[in-house]
Every structure is written in structure tokens, then in C-alpha cells.
């Protein structure tokens, strides 16, 4: 990266839990939850009532999803993503039961709160949808509190432009930033509906995520609900946990939380999906109609060539497989 601001100020500007620290050294200290905290809620796609507990993670563990019903751990890594239809799902190779879905909202909250190491314990196949946003997870994190590990933290600096796209013109890309920060810009376009075309640009930090993105809810089109349920999806969906759009109308009695809640939620998803990089990203994200699939493809493209990125911290890393475990 060329032309970025001095590191002492740049890391603090980056967000991910570091605003308020005054030095580069403290910005690179890992953080975890100070205590465990639990909740229960319905799974959006399974319809099952699921218990979730956020635990402090061991030093250097990264984010790990623990399926207590199966007795196994699934690291939150981009190369373990096995499904991106309507949510991001991770799983262990060779075991179709060893999966956890709908992880993007809790991942976004953990990343925005600067949590490097945590165990997300679940007794079912997906993270509870709660109200459809990341705000309840931020509330849980606030209640649990955070603590410093006094272990080195690493930042992934984007060095070269990386772009992925699909046949319909949707794309997602990462590029070097002029400051040591994570900036994101996204445009969505849903044609002749109440959603329409919306755009949002944001420097993602703890404060901006909480203020601008956290309460934006997931959404769907009314015409798709029956089809999704027939396919065994959206079994737990309701107006209490999703915005439902029927042509020019919003079916939720309370309406929208913000006029552009749709693009805000899509950008929330970007934050959660890119958190599967295993460490905060310093770079610029741009996307047009990007979803979970392209977001994951973007990370795979970034890490496919070691010249695309470098790890900035107290110890350099040789490859991305060490991002979670190191």
C-alpha cells in the first residue's frame, strides 16, 4: 500500500475494536469476551429453537463455532464455506452434518466489536436469527464485556486489486487503501420493488457499524417465501425477524427502520462474510449486487496469490492457514 497515514493513527481509525487506543502497540493487542453470555432463538431456515452461548476464546484461536449437539468445532474460515445460498454456511470436509449456517450476523458483530478470539457454542445447525440484524449480538457482546489478551494481533493489508464477478454483472472487489482502514461501498438494485437501487459508502469502525449497519434487518420478497419454504428453507422466517417486500409495499407493520435499510443490511453481510478472512482487513471493498457467494469468492481470490496481501503485526505469517490458529 502506498500513501497511507501514519500507523499510530491509521490502526485506531480502522475500527474493529481499536478506536480509543493511543498507540500502534495497543491497537495490535488481541481481544476476547470478558465472560460468557447466552440466548435462545429460532433458526431462520431450520425453524428450530437453538441455544447460543458466546464464550471467551483461547489466545490465538480466532472465532470457532462449537456444535455442542455433535461435539465438534468448526473454525470460522473462508476456505470452510460450503454453502452461500441465502446465508453463509461453514462445515468440515467430508462430514455433511458438521455444518453451521447463518453465521454472517454474529460474525459481523464480533468483527465490529474487535473480538479476535471467541467460541460460539450452538446446540443446532444454525445461528439463531433473533431480529434479523446484528444488533442483538452486539448487545450480548456489550453485556459480556471485552478484555485484552496481551497477545499479538494481525491485520491483513490488501496490496493489489482483486475482483470477482458473475455472469449477471454483479461484482465484488478489494483494493489497497490510501489509509490504513477498511472502507466499503456497495450498490444494490432490485428493480420495480420497494427496494429499488440503493448505494452506501462507509468507513467501517466500531462506532460506524453500531450507528449505521447493526440494526439493519435481513429481507426477502413475498413472492419468494412460498418457494423457499417448499425447498425446506425459511422455516423460521417471520415479520419479527425479516423485512418482507411485496412489490411497492413493505409488509412489516412497523415499516422500515431506515429508508435504505436494504443496502445497509447487505453491507452488514459484507462485514460478516469478510470476517472469515481470520483477521481485520485494511483495504477498500466495492461491490455491485454482491451477496454471500461473491463475498466468499473474493476472499478466495485474495488469498489465492500471496502477492495480493501481507500480514501486518508483530509476526509475519507465511500463509492464510495460520490466520485463525496462529
Cα-Cα-Cα-Cα dihedral sign, residues 17, 21, 27, 33: negative
Give the residue among 30, 107, 106, 120 at the shortest CA–CA distance from 74.
Answer: 120
**C-alpha separations of 107 from 73, 81, 190 in Å:** 16, 13, 26
Contact predicate 176/284, CB 8 Å: yes
Alpha-carbon gap, residue 273 to 258, rounded angstroms: 23
The grid coordinates listed for 55 are 464464550
Alpha-carbon gap, residue 220 to 48, rounded angstroms: 20
For residue 284, the cross-strand partners are: 175, 183
Q: Is 292 a catalytic residue?
A: yes
In this structure, what is the dihedral angle of CA atoms 150, 156, 157, 162, given to the nearest 10 degrees?
-170
Alpha-carbon gap, residue 264 to 271, rounded angstroms: 11
Alpha-carbon gap, residue 183 to 4, rounded angstroms: 13
Helix (H) or strand (E) holding 56: strand 49-56
Give the residue among 13, 17, 21 at the shortest CA–CA distance from 33.
Answer: 17
Instruction: Exactly one of 55, 66, 265, 292 is catalytic; name it.
Output: 292
In the chain, count H helices and then E strands. 9, 20
For residue 67, the cross-strand partners are: 72, 122
Residues 6+ apart with CB under 8 A from 224: none
Q: Which residues are catalytic?
A: 292
Amino acid at each position: 500500500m502506498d500513501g497511507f497515514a501514519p500507523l499510530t493513527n491509521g490502526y485506531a481509525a480502522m475500527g474493529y475494536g481499536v478506536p480509543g487506543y493511543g498507540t500502534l502497540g495497543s491497537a495490535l493487542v488481541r481481544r476476547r469476551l470478558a465472560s460468557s453470555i447466552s440466548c435462545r432463538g429460532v433458526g431462520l431456515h431450520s425453524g428450530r429453537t437453538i441455544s447460543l452461548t458466546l464464550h471467551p476464546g483461547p489466545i490465538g484461536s480466532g472465532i470457532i463455532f462449537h456444535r455442542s449437539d455433535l461435539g465438534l468445532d468448526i473454525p470460522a474460515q473462508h476456505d470452510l464455506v460450503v454453502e452461500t445460498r441465502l446465508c453463509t454456511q461453514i462445515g468440515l470436509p467430508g462430514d455433511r452434518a458438521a455444518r453451521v449456517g447463518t453465521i454472517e450476523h454474529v460474525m459481523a458483530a464480533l468483527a465490529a466489536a474487535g473480538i479476535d478470539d471467541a467460541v460460539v457454542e450452538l446446540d443446532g445447525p444454525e445461528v439463531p436469527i433473533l431480529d434479523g440484524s446484528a444488533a442483538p449480538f452486539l448487545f450480548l457482546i456489550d453485556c459480556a464485556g471485552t478484555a485484552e489478551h496481551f497477545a499479538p494481533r494481525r491485520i491483513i493489508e490488501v496490496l493489489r486489486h482483486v475482483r470477482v464477478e458473475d455472469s449477471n454483472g454483479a461484482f465484488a472487489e478489494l483494493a489497497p487503501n490510501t489509509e490504513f482502514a477498511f472502507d466499503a461501498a456497495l450498490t444494490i438494485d432490485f428493480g420495480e420493488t420497494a427496494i429499488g437501487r440503493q448505494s452506501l459508502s462507509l468507513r467501517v469502525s466500531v462506532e460506524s457499524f453500531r450507528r449505521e449497519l447493526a440494526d439493519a434487518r435481513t429481507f426477502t420478497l413475498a413472492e419468494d417465501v412460498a418457494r423457499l419454504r417448499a425447498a425446506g428453507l425459511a422455516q423460521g422466517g417471520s415479520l419479527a425477524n425479516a423485512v418482507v417486500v411485496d412489490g411497492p409495499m413493505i409488509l412489516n407493520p412497523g415499516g422500515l427502520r431506515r429508508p435504505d435499510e436494504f443496502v445497509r443490511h447487505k453491507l452488514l453481510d459484507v462485514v460478516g462474510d469478510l470476517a472469515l478472512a481470520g483477521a481485520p482487513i485494511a483495504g477498500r471493498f466495492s461491490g455491485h449486487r454482491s451477496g454471500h457467494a461473491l463475498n466468499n469468492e473474493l476472499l478466495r481470490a485474495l488469498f489465492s496469490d500471496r502477492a495480493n496481501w501481507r500480514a501486518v503485526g508483530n509476526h509475519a505469517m507465511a500463509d492464510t492457514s495460520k490466520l485463525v490458529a496462529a
